[in-house]
Amino acid sequence: MTDFSDAFAAAIGLVLGLDTSLTEIVGLSLRVSLTAVAIAAFIGLPVGAAIALFRFPGRFFFVVATNALMGMPPVVVGLIVYLLLSRAGPFGVFGLLFTPTAMIVAQVLLVTPIIAALTRQVIEDLWIEYEEQMRSLGAGPGRAVPALLWDGRFTLITAILAGFGRASAEVGAVMIVGGNIDHVTRVMTTSIALEVSKGNLALALGLGMILLVLSASINAAAYLIQHNTKRWHA
Amino acid sequence: MTAPLDDTSILPLELTDVSFAAGGNRLIKDVTLRFEPGLKTVMIGPNGAGKSLFLRLCHGLLQPTQGSIRWQQETGADRHQAMVFQRPVMLRRSVAANIDYALKLRQISRRDRGDIIDRVLHQTGLRRLADQPARVLSIGEQQKLALARAWALEPQVLFLDEPTASLDPAAIHSVEEIIAAIHDAGTRIIMTTHDLGQARRIADEVLFINRGRILEAAPADRFFNAPENDLAQAFLRGELLW
């Protein structure tokens, strides 16, 4: 138990002292995950809405595929991206392996299906309520997409948060494609794994606390925005 | 006022042997009718008679499984119609923005949209609510907004599906006033109701529908004073129809 309390005290010291290696790691983590979630939302929201509204051959396959891909293991995604980006792979010429960009690519692949699948569900439900009115006004599914995404915004925030939760918490994909290189691709989750294996529990615990606090504050902020604006819009 | 897209009237609307079936049940049966311009037609009949289905067929939200529904002017006919539903569906944005969205879909220029929104909000008594989120309005105000939104499109034909079904008497009164004003501005009214008093107040022409069949189509005076169909007589006496 003393181990734990020592580690805890040391962790608080690191956090409060704004330890440089700590801030660097936290900064990179946020940069990678937020960028990945932004890109995934940019792709996943319209794709999810399109799957919800359009009837096309193979739609069933898309629905099942996005749902299935929601649960894709990060290490598998990491491995796929690793193969694609490695020197011998199709995108090897870009030299992206073991860079933050590679980590972003991997997280985009992880998060996009989550956002797309949840968006599909939200938009499908909205369309049930809106369809007749929208078609009466002259908006078929295609023209209705932006309005539906906007009207579903409060619920879609939750979809994006789910994506962010996935991106910020996963370790497998960023470990494989980033390589956990100090000052280059080391993020919170990979350094926690590393520091634990080195026995450096203080830093690991400090990082763990920050990860929890960051995740909690982003969720709290989103909830508050959602709560207040939702009340305003009934 | 904005200029209509063109001056040709899409009316009359002609239904020939129209039937609609779903799940093996014929819900609308062999309707042949002609809607001339200018009047207010009110369709009455018991719940489940097919009133809402009938309006949806006319408005093009559903396709008949048999027969044909033809506007005199087919091209662009959908741009000259609007529909107000029993439960208004408002987007999660302000009152004015809801009307703006409908106008934008009809490619009305931004400059004209402002004037139109102002006018219809004024005409429907909603101007003070222009910046309120539409979804927090009372159901009566939302229905007035639905009318304002439809009116903004300056339709030649306005379909209304039991527009006052869940409103209190004051709201019913103002909705009826707005419907009359829209009609006076030159829009053909085709609506359903199961409120006989409302039908008497509004109708120039009555369609009586039961079990998917139009049993009587007559001028309002004649229908209410001397209905020919025995089921229509029973309906007017307030009896249950089987």
What are A129-148's pLDDT values in tens digits? 999 999 999 988 888 999 99
pLDDT for A233 equals 67
User: What gap in Å lies between CA B111 and CA B73, rounded to an integer?
Assistant: 29
Closest alpha carbon to A110 in A183, A170, A59, A55: A170
Q: Which of B56, B92, B105 sits opposite A137 (nearest CB)?
A: B105
Q: B201 at the A interface (CB within 8 A)?
A: no
What number is the ipTM of this complex?
0.88
In chain B, residues 63-82 whose CB comes closer than 8 Å to chain A = 78-79, 82
Domains and their CATH numbers in chain B: 13-236 (3.40.50.300)
| Sign of the dihedral through C-alpha A208, A212, A214, A215 | positive
Q: To probe the interface with A, which of B56, B62, B91, B138 has the most A CB atoms within 10 Å?
A: B91
Closest alpha carbon to A214 in A162, A164, A173: A164
Closest alpha carbon to A110 in A146, A152, A72: A72
- Contact between B123 and B151 under an 8 Å Cβ cutoff? The reply is yes
Binned at pLDDT 50, 70 and 90, residue A232 comes out as low
Give chain A's domain count.
1
Residue A69 tokens read as 């891909």
Q: Which of B85, B101, B149 sits opposite A132 (nearest CB)?
A: B85
Burial B52-90 (b: 16+ CB within 10 A, else e): bbbbbbbbbbbebeebebebeeeeebebbbbbbbeebbb
CATH number at residue A216: 1.10.3720.10
User: What gap in Å lies between CA B62 and CA B54, rounded to an integer?
Assistant: 9
Partner-chain contact B91 A151, CB within 8 Å: yes
Residues of chain B with C-beta less than 8 angstroms from the C-beta of A127: none
Binned at pLDDT 50, 70 and 90, residue A192 comes out as very high
Closest alpha carbon to A34 in A222, A228, A224: A222
Closest alpha carbon to B146 in B95, B183, B215: B95
Residues of chain A with C-beta less than 8 angstroms from the C-beta of B82: 136-137
Q: Is 80 exceeded by the pLDDT of residue A234?
A: no
Partner-chain contact B92 A151, CB within 8 Å: yes
Query: What are the start-end ranges of the E strands in chain A?
Result: none
**Which residues of chain B, if any, have pLDDT below 50?**
1-6
Q: Which of A133, A138, A143 sits opposite B78 (nearest CB)?
A: A138
pLDDT for B5 equals 44
Chain mean pLDDT for chain A: 90
Taking only the tens place, the pLDDT of each residue in A94-109 is: 999 999 999 999 999 9
Q: B91 at the A interface (CB within 8 A)?
A: yes
User: What gap in Å lies between CA A169 and CA B151, rounded to an integer?
Assistant: 52
Q: What are phi and psi of B132, to 5 degrees?
A: -75, 150
Q: B55 at the A interface (CB within 8 A)?
A: no
Residues of chain A with C-beta less than 8 angstroms from the C-beta of B142: none
